[in-house]
Amino acid sequence: MRCNKSQKKALAVRNYDLFRPEDLSPPAPATLYTAIRQHQSAAPAVSLSTVREVETGLPDTSELYRMFERFNWLYFNGRLPRVKIEYSTRMSSAGSYTPQRRLIRIGRKYHELFPEELTDTLKHEMIHILHFHHGTAFKAEAARVGASIRAKAHPSLRKPPKYIYACPDCGREYPRQKRLRMASCGLCTSGRKFDARYKLKLKKRHS
């Protein structure tokens, strides 16, 4: 059977595909853009909280846990128990530790202003796991690991007081966030006991 020119050409291409030797040479190195695309396709979904932490320059909570483990072995020989760590958007101070819940809270608003103090805050709260009060033992540990003694707070983050009470005798004012029921002036009252003569009276209330 004779083939025309188009048929011969088609057969030639087919034979070439069938008998072309396999290319065993290594692939060309991926470009930067290829690597970026591969990383994006393999990257897990990012939560909104993680996006916010990245935007503010603060590490996410997983990194806080890694910092905790590193400091635990570096400064405490790994003897600190595992605790929960979370950011707080409500507190105005740098951090806090609640022993009943075994919870370290990191003030987000404070560290958005002072991100360089995050390490100090975490070490400070880790010491509270061993020593809840700022006593002699706490101060010794703070000096040993290089942490501040007092938790810090920025004045601009403090809420204005809702209530202002005053002593009817000396006139000293007591700003408070919550209402006082049975409280007397600390200067005029002796023995730290309630004295009706110096009971604090509501002077001003902010809505």
Please report the pLDDT score of residue 176 as a whole number: 83
As given in the structure block, the two tokens for residue 148 are 């501040």
pLDDT at residue 191 is higher than 80: no
Exposure string over 42-59, b if 16+ CB within 10 A, otherwise e = eeeeeeeeeeebeeeebb
pLDDT, tens digit, for every residue of 22-73? 444 444 444 444 444 444 444 444 444 444 444 558 999 999 999 999 999 9
Identity of residue 159 = K
Angle between helices 136-145 and 118-130 (to 10 degrees): 140
What's the rounded Cα separation, in Å, for the pair 122 and 130? 14
CB atoms within 10 A of CB 122: 19
Q: Where do the domains of the chain lie, and which CATH numbers do they carry?
A: 49-156 (3.30.2010.10), 159-207 (no CATH)
Cβ of 64: how many Cβ atoms within 10 Å?
18
Question: pLDDT-derived band of residue 156, with 50, 70 and 90 as boundaries?
Answer: low
Q: Is the pLDDT of residue 135 over 60?
A: yes
At 175, the pLDDT band (50, 70, 90 cuts) reads: confident
Beta bridge pairs of residue 85: 104
pTM reported for the whole predicted model: 0.54
The answer for residues whose C-beta is within 8 angstroms of residue 96's C-beta and 6 or more apart is 88, 104, 105, 107, 125, 151
Residue predicted with more confidence, 56 or 176: 176
CB atoms closer than 10 angstroms to residue 74: 11
- Looking at this protein, which amino acid is placed at residue 42? A
